[in-house]
Amino acid sequence: MKRRQLRGFDLKHIETVTNLIGVDEAGRGALAGPVVAGAVLVTRDFLESRWADANARRINDSKQLTPAERDALWLDFEALAAEGKIHANFGSADVTEIAQFNILGATKLAMRRALGGIYPPSAFERKIEPDLFAAPEEVANFQPTVSARVLIDGLALRNFPYPHTAIVNGDGRSLCIAMASIIAKVTRDRLMNDLDVHFPGYGFAGHKGYGTEEHREAVLRLGRTPQHREMFLRNLLAGRTDPAQMDFLSGG
């Protein structure tokens, strides 16, 4: 799908609501480091703005962009957020949480944290506006249900506190999901660059924790670090890789 169509996709999905919130993750299939999620809220005004018209073609699935392109867009997103034209947030789950909740549970946790910086789950609950006989305190504290649709890249999530629409390959179809994927990717890459300083010799700054040949050789030579995911690493050190994880090992 051509990049200019990402904005058109979102314009169709925002027809019955005021806001769209795109959500995506980075690092789900890595051997080391956290899983990070990004969330980006856009409005119809933003989607129809001069900036979106001129720059939407620069935005794509983060894995399809160069680091320089992602960094430039990050700066643009910061400026847009400072002007109140978008809202963006990220959340992460560390290796301890990945071990505790498994990678899917940790990914959902990271997404909840990213979304929580924009709206709490309670904001989506259907609420009835106080009537004329309501107490003044009830009227003053009333918070109406938000008019927003959450678009999440991938399959629908079970037992997730936010109502959402799952979009398979959403980071290449939806502008706000693609923006969220850039937030998640840049954030996680920077975290992995920091880990490279603390754990030299593993090449974290290069492969970002994914199962490249360089990374595999480093683990076999130097052993694991506290930032390695035990379940993922166990298969590698045993000389076998779960076929279900193969697509993730070299992913972005």
- Each residue's pLDDT, cut to its tens digit, for the chain (252 residues) gives 455 589 999 999 999 999 999 999 999 999 999 999 999 999 999 999 999 999 999 999 999 999 999 999 999 999 999 999 999 999 999 999 999 999 999 999 999 999 999 999 999 988 777 667 767 877 677 677 899 999 999 999 999 999 999 999 999 999 999 999 999 999 999 999 999 999 999 999 999 999 899 999 999 899 999 999 988 777 666 654 443 333 333 334
For 244, residues 6+ apart whose C-beta sits below 8 A from its C-beta are: none
Q: Burial-class residue 152 by CB neighbours within 10 Å (0-12, 13-18, 19+).
A: buried
pLDDT at res. 238: 65
Q: What does DSSP assign to residue 162? A: S
Q: Determine if residue 38 is left, alpha or beta; phi over 0 gives left, psi from -120 to 50 gives alpha, anything else beta.
A: beta
pLDDT at res. 123: 94
pLDDT at res. 248: 31
* C-alpha count within 13 angstroms, C-beta hemisphere, residue 4: 2
pLDDT at res. 145: 86
Element housing 11 (H / E)? helix 4-13
Q: In angstroms, what CA-CA distances link 30 with 21, 155, 163, 228, 251?
A: 25, 19, 28, 9, 8
Q: Is 149 helix (H, G, I), strand (E, B) or coil?
A: strand
Q: What share of the chain is helix, strand, coil (3-state, %, to 5)?
A: 50, 15, 35
pLDDT at res. 237: 64
pLDDT at res. 4: 57
Q: Determine if residue 58 is left, alpha or beta; phi over 0 gives left, psi from -120 to 50 gives alpha, anything else beta.
A: alpha
Q: Burial-class residue 56 by CB neighbours within 10 Å (0-12, 13-18, 19+).
A: buried
Helix H, strand E, coil C: the string for 72-110 is: HHHHHHHHHHHCCCCEEEEEEECHHHHHHHHHHHHHHHH
**How far is residue 147 CA from its own chain's centroid?**
21
Element housing 36 (H / E)? strand 35-43
pLDDT at res. 1: 44
For 4-194, CATH number out of 3.30.56.10, 2.60.130.10, 3.40.50.10540, 3.30.420.10 equals 3.30.420.10
- Chain position carrying tokens 């929580």: 116
Residue type, 179: M
Alpha-carbon distance of 89 to 239, in angstroms, equals 38
pLDDT at res. 126: 82
Phi and psi, residue 85, nearest 5°: -85, -25
For 101, residues 6+ apart whose C-beta sits below 8 A from its C-beta are: 93, 108, 109
pLDDT at res. 185: 98
pLDDT per residue as tens digits for the range 157-176: 999 999 999 999 999 999 99
Alpha-carbon distance of 6 to 134, in angstroms, equals 45
pTM for this structure?
0.88
